Homo-oligomer: A and B are copies of this chain.
Amino acid sequence: VAAAPDPPVRLIAIDWGTSALRAWLLGAEARRLGTRETPHGIMRLPQGGFAEALDAAAGDWIRAHPALPIVACGMVGSAQGWREVPYRRTPADAAALAEGLAAVDIGDGRHMHIVPGILHDATLPDVMRGEETQIVGALQTCDEAPRRRLFVLPGTHSKWVSTAAACIVSLRTFLTGEVYAALREHTILGRLMTDGGGPDPAAFALGLRTAGEQHGEAGLLGNLFSARSLALTGRLAGGALPDYLSGLLIGAELAGARAMFPVGGFGVEDEIGVVGSASLSARYVEALRAVGHRRIAVHADAAVDGLWNIARRAGLVVA
């Protein structure tokens, strides 16, 4: 009996951020042939640095396929990364990102191509590295690409990105995740919080409502103290406070983003894309539903589709 022939390989795709490295071995039409994840983000590299981290994640693939192109996105292209790749400016589409690819020597005569981040050079400038590739991937799976779209990429630094005709046109970072951690660990708000009760959807929803229609006018700074006073007055248990605070923050983020982006014509009737991990995306979907959005598309693993698309535009792979 002859063994089935190995499927043809086309690309090694890498999403290399601050705290993790994810790698995919891709076949024709971006078919996933293998997936790896290591904790070797650029701030958590092993002894041997970038080369060692890449080898640990994908060394066997690289050696087995000497001609295979390698494309990476994320903080690996930052000043703290393997090679600093200059930002592309808005507006930028997949072709512009492909044009901006920069190669880094990974040894043995091989190179890894790094996707540039994006600089939105407005009155308040903003930047992203990695999320632009996720947007390119998410746009591919949208039903009609040329329209204006709004995406949120939840995280430590949530990104809100608007696109038009498959071009990234504007960008705003919300510091939601990092502020949550700082408030919980380093302010009086953490004192009454207890863990272990599991998620508390009612407390999360109450936080959303407080940040939204009910008390939104006071703003985040004017609502935060309620994450203490509601417990002091016996209306919320200590175990409910983490989810209440999460609701206050995501609700404030949503109110800000909705107020900021309607100039582009976004309303509850327009599709919003949520790009990210399942658990965090679920919170944002709930928050969007709570303010009336019904057309919400969730994009998981968008980075790999974006890397494929950019590699294809750069002529590194053929579909």
Q: Footprint of B on A, CB under 8 Å?
A: 119, 121, 123-127, 157, 160, 172-176, 178-179, 181-183, 185-189, 210, 214-215, 217-226, 229-230, 232-233, 235, 249, 252-253, 255-257, 259-260
Contact = CB atoms under 8 A, between A and B. Distances in A.
Q: In the assembly, how many copies of this chain are there? A: 2
Given A124-B223, A174-B225, 10 more contacts: A123-B215, A124-B215, A126-B225, A126-B226, A157-B225, A172-B222, A172-B225, A175-B221, A178-B188, A219-B253
A259 B175 contact: no
A178 B187 contact: yes
A249 B220 CA distance: 10
7 contacts: A124-B215, A125-B232, A126-B226, A179-B183, A182-B182, A219-B259, A222-B260
A202 B232 CA distance: 40
A86 to B, nearest CB: 13
Given A175-B187, A210-B124, A252 B219 contact: yes
Interface of A, secondary structure class, is: helix
A249 B223 contact: no
Contacts of A260: 215, 217-218, 222
B182 A186 contact: yes
Given A124-B230, A210-B124, A232-B127, A176 B221 contact: yes
Contacts of A259: 217-219
A214 B189 CA distance: 30
A185, A187, A219: residue with the most chain B Cβ atoms closer than 10 Å:
A219
Given A215-B123, A230-B125, A253 B222 contact: yes
Contacts of A124: 210, 215, 223, 225-226, 229-230
A221 B187 contact: no
B187 A185 contact: no
A221 B174 contact: yes
A257 B222 contact: yes
Nearest to A227: B175
A175 B183 CA distance: 10
B182 A222 contact: no
Interchain residue pairs A-B with the least CB separation, the first 6: A219-B256, A217-B259, A173-B225, A222-B256, A124-B226, A218-B260
Given A182-B183, A182-B187, A175 B218 contact: no
A230 to B, nearest CB: 7
A266 to B, nearest CB: 13
A224 B229 CA distance: 25
Nearest to A224: B175
Nearest to A210: B124
Contacts of A223: 124
